[in-house]
Amino acid sequence: MFLFRKVKKRVPKTPNEVKEALERYLANSSPQLVKWLVSFWKDQQTVLTFKEIREAIQAGSISKETVEAWQQDYSKVVSEKIAPEMVKAMKAAAANENKLKGIDIGYKFDADHWAVSDWLENHTAELVTNCTRVQKDAIQSMIELGIRSHMSDDELSRFIRPCIGLTKPQTQAVKKYYETIKAELEKKHPRTKPEKIEQMARDKQAKYAERQLRERAKTIAQTERAFAYEYGRYQHTKNLVDQGILPPQDKKWSATDSENTCSTCRELNGKVVGMDEEFAPGKLLPPLHPRCKCCVMYVNSKSIAAAYETEEDELREYSTEEIETLANKMSEIADKHLDLESSWSGKVVVDDDSGVYGIQWNGDIITRHETAPHILLHEQLHARSVTKYDRKMYKQYENMEEGSVQFAAQEISKKENIQILESQYDHMTEALRNINKVAGLFKNDYDFAMKLISVPLPDRYDWLNNMIYDKMMLSGNIEDYQKVSHWMEALENGKTS
């Protein structure tokens, strides 16, 4: 049986609309995150005593204990302040993507999706590591420069403290500013004591360093929100494709046409790659660098774009003869991909008063004049699965049957350029895709789908459960196994003891 939900016709968006949506979101970024970061760095400055700084100067490097404390500090601020803002950015991106693509079916961003959780965990861990490393390198550079320029331990330690939180280039700029101000003061006030000159220069240096801290906070806030925004669009688009709401998509890099656009971004502008391919080594998505304003356009995959360009809607009216021809063609396609005996009678009953599309237990396919090839393919797959048994067997394993049939129909449709319709079973196909990705059962979803539907229905759930257990328990990754067990529940709910 095939149950579908109708989706409104989509109007393609332009690159300017996507960029404008991104820029509006970043421009409206909450200043609270910037305040949090500046306050965080000032706390770090206060906690690190002059004694500890002098000890670091004398040792020639920051102590391991100090670096570990910084890492713990960053871990806390990222977890409590930055990560929630990134989730908000992903949700906003998905909402904008729905609006720009004209998707109006109430489909929302799944913030609890395992891929989102994994990305957020990995990205924030990387952010903590990078921020700690940048801070360590910056202070280490200050120590080395201060020693080479013969600054006293006291002068250098008082200089370093307000620079905690800055990058290496920023601290070097602050040092240059300090030296320039100090030289000007010495020239203007030759009779003033050196200690007083240093104090006056440090006061100006501290204010300059604070401005630099705010700039760095703005850079982190904007860049990390841009990372999350683009990833939110990416994962949401993948989910829309998996659900059959969108056809398979490619990614197209879109750079801002500005004199400030870097040469690398300009070179990438217009480049098209597959959804899971990188634009450049290590670059799946923008931003390419801090404060980068590039974005990705999602376009119909080249391999199937032609099949969708002339489609005006998911369903259309067919004559009875056309439906019979389509049913035979879908049967041939099913046989092309699966070596399974068919229980289809060869007959199609066209009944516009019928409330469902389906295959009857005598092997007849029932449909309406308003139908689609994907619906007929779905029923042809049932003819090679559940119709070998009876209604009681179907009710006992309904979720597994519908999930595996729709999963196979989606994968075959991708191969055959058949438009995929969104169905009521797509949460189960999503569960199967997630299971395969996390458990690593097959190298691709097509192979997994073909094997799964080939397993006799009464054995299908246990076969999959045993395969997951054998594959994942050997790896010892209990956390991933628990995720997969949760997705298996969506397929188990229709299985009774």
Report how far residue 356's alpha carbon sits from residue 484's, in angstroms, rounded to the nearest whole number. Answer: 32
Q: What is the pLDDT of residues 12-51, one digit of tens each?
A: 555 577 878 887 887 776 688 899 999 999 999 999 888 8
Q: Are 415 and 337 a contacting pair, CB within 8 Å?
A: yes
Q: What is the pLDDT of residue 72?
A: 95
Percent of the chain with pLDDT over 90: 47
Asked whether residue 191 is assigned to any structural domain, the reply reads yes
Looking at the structure, do residues 144 and 24 belong to the same domain, yes or no?
yes
Q: What is the pLDDT of residues 142-173, one digit of tens each?
A: 898 888 888 888 888 888 999 999 999 999 99
Query: Helix 153-160 and helix 194-242: axis angle, to 10°?
Result: 30
Measure the CA angle with vertex 391, ends 461 and 405; round to 5°.
45
pLDDT band at 278 (very low <50, low <70, confident <90, very high): very high
Q: What is the pLDDT of residues 388-414, one digit of tens each?
A: 888 888 888 888 999 999 999 999 999
Looking at the structure, do residues 399 and 488 belong to the same domain, yes or no?
yes
Q: What is the pLDDT of residue 493?
A: 61
Asked whether residue 134 is assigned to any structural domain, the reply reads yes
Asked whether residue 433 is assigned to any structural domain, the reply reads yes
Most confident of the ranges 105-109, 424-428, 438-442, 486-490: 438-442
* Position 281 pLDDT exceeds 80: yes
Asked whether residue 271 is assigned to any structural domain, the reply reads no
pLDDT band at 496 (very low <50, low <70, confident <90, very high): very low
Query: Helix 398-416 and helix 457-475: axis angle, to 10°?
Result: 80
Which of residues 188, 212, 246 is at a domain's end? 246
Asked whether residue 277 is assigned to any structural domain, the reply reads no
Looking at the structure, do residues 122 and 222 belong to the same domain, yes or no?
yes
Give the torsion sign (CA, 238, 241, 245, 251).
positive
The arithmetic mean of pLDDT across residues 85-95, rounded, is 91
Q: Give the position of tokens 């046989």.
A: 335
Q: Is the preceding omega at residue 287 within 30 degrees of 0, hence cis?
A: yes
Looking at the structure, do residues 354 and 476 belong to the same domain, yes or no?
yes
Q: What is the pLDDT of residue 428?
A: 85
Q: What is the pLDDT of residue 125?
A: 94
Q: Are 171 and 163 a contacting pair, CB within 8 Å?
A: yes
What stretches of 21-120 adopt beta strand conformation (E)?
Answer: none
Which of residues 190, 225, 246 is at a domain's end? 246
Q: Are 288 and 265 a contacting pair, CB within 8 Å?
A: yes
Looking at the structure, do residues 227 and 322 belong to the same domain, yes or no?
no
Q: What is the pLDDT of residues 55-89, one digit of tens each?
A: 888 888 888 999 999 999 999 999 999 999 999 99
Asked whether residue 288 is assigned to any structural domain, the reply reads no
The count of structural domains within the chain is 2
Looking at the structure, do residues 232 and 376 belong to the same domain, yes or no?
no
Looking at the structure, do residues 40 and 121 belong to the same domain, yes or no?
yes
CB count, 10 Å around CB of 418?
21
Looking at the structure, do residues 172 and 27 belong to the same domain, yes or no?
yes
Domain range for 47 is: 15-246
Which of residues 246, 274, 304 is at a domain's end? 246
Q: Are 48 and 161 a contacting pair, CB within 8 Å?
A: yes
Considering the chain, what is the average pLDDT of its residues? 85
Q: What is the pLDDT of residue 13?
A: 54
Looking at the structure, do residues 230 and 371 belong to the same domain, yes or no?
no
Report how far residue 480's alpha carbon sits from residue 477's, in angstroms, rounded to the nearest whole number. Answer: 6
Looking at the structure, do residues 76 and 195 belong to the same domain, yes or no?
yes
Which two structure tokens, joined as six digits, stand for 251? Answer: 């990614």
Asked whether residue 284 is assigned to any structural domain, the reply reads no
Give the torsion sign (CA, 448, 454, 457, 459).
negative
Closest by alpha carbon to 21, among 285, 278, 237, 296? 296
Asked whether residue 272 is assigned to any structural domain, the reply reads no
Looking at the structure, do residues 209 and 327 belong to the same domain, yes or no?
no
321 Cβ contact list (under 8 Å, min separation 6): none
Looking at the structure, do residues 237 and 326 belong to the same domain, yes or no?
no
Question: Could you tell me if residue 365 is left (phi over 0), alpha (psi between -120 and 50 degrees) or otherwise beta?
Answer: beta
Q: What is the pLDDT of residue 107?
A: 61
